Structure 1
């Protein structure tokens, strides 16, 4: 058994999640085909807060080839699970994804994506953006933080 610092308060966990969303470049994206075949891939992402006055009111933006399983697996409900971190510092996000053509993506969002990541796919027709609106966010770092790991439910922050 490992000695732990006391569990982080939920407000601190939320801030830690927002900091990671703003700074990290890679996220694990999980989808499933209509027949239940899972797909898990790492993708570059942007925590897109353009047009928002609150840093916690963003969406996640990634890009993938339109014929890749990640894009093909999106059902009309667009359910997706995202994960940041390793097994001792976990952020799990369940959300709703929508496909956005590069020509339809707001310029501010496309500019922010290209500024954060060394890639600008907006004029590449083989690629499509995926915008994920978070519905549930959970964060914990080991067992001692499991009790209050839910930070967002039904798209609303609890803290």
Structure 2
């Protein structure tokens, strides 16, 4: 239980640091007459629309995913609706990635031992979604699991 509390506290600090860092990188806009076409096509959720941050550290080994420090193969990953999810995948051999189609979320394909790749997305749909490795036939060989997005409490 203490580990979960520490993880949540760490996630909150990480999220706060990311928001502050992103705000510091924003260019100052002085031109009031800038064309609307220069605006990004995608609307980013407002800060109050995104729930808590959830960080998942996974390892790809053989044809399985593992949550770091645990032994369960291809575990169910449970997050809350509206949360900002950050998945970091590290590999210990072979080339792998981590993909969830419904959220357009995918890490880079990585293949060096101890190489890692991170993807972030907002879990804005409730339900069960398959995550998988898209390299070769890894998915067909069983390298997949379930991402469960639970309703916001």
Pair in the same fold by TM > 0.5: no
Q: TM-score range by the shorter chain?
A: under 0.3
Q: Highest CA radius of gyration, 1 or 2?
A: 2
> Greater strand share, 1 or 2?
1
Answer 1 or 2: higher relative contact order, Cα 8 Å, separation at least 6: 1
